[in-house]
A and B are shown apart, each in its own frame.
Chain A
Amino acid sequence: MLGVLFEQTADGQRYIDWLLSGLGWTLALAFFGWWIAFAVGVVVGIGRTVQNRVVAALARLYVEIFRNIPVLVQMFLWYFVLPEILPTSLGDAIKQIPPPWGSFFPALLCLGLYTAARIAEQVRAGIEALPKGQTEAASALGLGGYLSYRHVIVPQALRLIVPSLTSEVMGIYKNTSVAMTIGLMELTAQARQISEATFQTFTAFGAATLIYLALALIAYQSMMLIDRAVRIPGSTPAKDAIEPTLADDVQPGTALPHGMEVVK
């Protein structure tokens, strides 16, 4: 059934090479987009929780804008609208970027900044789930705002949110398929190209589906490993946190993951 993938294409390659090339772009977009999203998301998420109202309001504004506009629309905004609203010379320079980079960079920014808004909300929830005593203890030791966040608050908050970050990792690589709308030949775009060239629609999209599923599995397993690696010795695994019968036996304040239940 998948035999058509190994047939020669007009340009001397095999169709499977098209798919693999698409996979490469998908992975590159997801990987680099993730690091943009994580870096910006942590900063904005912290910004949501600081006492400075201007910073908190700006962080909130960021989250509301980037989280509430559909990814597809954001993709078009970065690709079609941004060059038009910039000064002409800069806009023209952007339009001159050769393919595939002319599509890749707007897609990277789009996915990175969109996912960042979602991660920021997770980070905020993680920070707010921590017992108030943690901040108080840090303050009482003379650790100022920056040192408290850097050494006490953020390290704990990030551990708390590893499970929800897993779905963001899986989200960003699935959203890479939207980049085909601005001409990036990623996995879905290649599948469509194969289906148009061979009329084997089922095979083309079936293969792409299998690849996406495999990626999901890899992402999930990697996040499980990370979760295990950063788990605090002596604390209950995060999955126990949703089982109240187990939670009842643990003293409040000693086991970190229970804070997650407190948060909305």
Chain B
Amino acid sequence: MQGTASPIDRSSTIVVAENLVKRFGGFTALNDINLTVAKGEKIVLCGPSGSGKSTLIRCINHIERHDGGRIIVDGVELTDRMADINGVRSEVGMVFQSFNLFPHLSVVENCMLAPMKVRGLSRPEARERAMGLLRKVRIQGQADKYPAQLSGGQQQRVAIARALCMQPKIMLFDEPTSALDPEMVKEVLDTMVQLAADGITMVCVTHEMGFAREVADRVVFMDQGSIVEDGDPETFFRAPRTERAKGFLNQIIH
């Protein structure tokens, strides 16, 4: 499954970050980041912990507010004063490390909430869409259970389906397998590989280098808040240019 099913459309970009800066107090989490995500592109963000990868994708849907530079998502620049941040966010799906399913709603209700309340779908429409996507992540049999009754891997697949129910233009994954028991990592990665094959634009923070190799069009390596390398996975894994990337790869591949 090398490469992607649908071509990357370089002419249309979904995310443009220009000179992006984010500080937490005196700590600079993102330092002058420039990144462009084209439609259909699959990007894997990696790097040591504290390198700013999660902060970067959290800036893409404005869960984290940037302090400098610009970030444009789906043609709209994100600012603190913008009125319609929810309009942008509804086009950006996000999957979290800790799933963050709504525990008081059943699996299918988790998937129906935002389509009904934000997109204005009727209950039957939302349910139909939710069931379709739950089938896609192969968890339709658990639709009426509650999140706490599912395994971690199942919860994360529900979280993916929940994000997909909004039919987002881009999917962000923030270390989606890091909180999982080892035996559950594969089922989530398989789901993500399948999504990639469908041609969804993805930005994925992960340490799963097998996944990066198989799915990514680009691997972006970050360290200390900066993008250190940005290139195709073959080159990155075979011949990293910088010492920092070499050191990182040595550490995680053992």
Binding site for B on A (CB under 8 A): 131, 133-134, 136-144, 147, 151-152, 155-156, 159, 232-235, 251-256
- Whether B90 and A137, one on each chain, are in contact in the complex, defined by CB atoms closer than 8 angstroms, is no
Contacts known (A134-B100, A136-B100, A159-B104); A141 close to B148, Cβ less than 8 A: no
The minimal Cβ–Cβ distance linking A64 to chain B, given in whole angstroms, is 30
CA–CA, A155 and B149, complex, Å = 19
B201 on the interface (CB 8 Å rule)? no
B50 within 8 A of A: no
What's the minimum C-beta distance from A263 to chain B, rounded to whole angstroms? 17
Of the A-B pairs whose beta carbons lie under 8 Å apart in the complex, a sample of 9, sorted by A's number, is A131-B98, A133-B99, A137-B96, A140-B63, A141-B90, A142-B118, A143-B114, A234-B145, A254-B147
Count chain B residues whose beta carbon lies closer than 8 angstroms to a beta carbon of A.
Answer: 33
In the docked arrangement, what's the CA distance between A97 and B162, Å? 57
| Inter-chain contacts of B104 with A (CB < 8 A) | 155-156, 159, 232, 256
Q: Does B69 contact A (CB under 8 A)?
A: no
Bound Cα distance A174, B96 (Å): 46
> In the assembled complex, which residues on chain B have CB atoms less than 8 Å from the CB atom of A134?
100, 102
Q: Decide if A143 touches B113 in the complex (CB within 8 Å).
A: yes
Q: Beta-carbon contacts of B191-212 to A below 8 Å, as 1s and 0s? A: 0000000000000000000000
Name the residue among B102, B103, B147 with the largest chain A CB count within 10 angstroms: B103
B145 contacts which of A156, A233, A256 (Cβ < 8 Å)? A233
A144 contacts B149, CB within 8 Å? no
- Please give the distance in Å from A218's CB to the nearest CB on chain B: 27
Q: How far is the CA of A254 from the CA of B101 in the complex (A)?
A: 9
**Chain B residue nearest in CB terms to A134:** B100
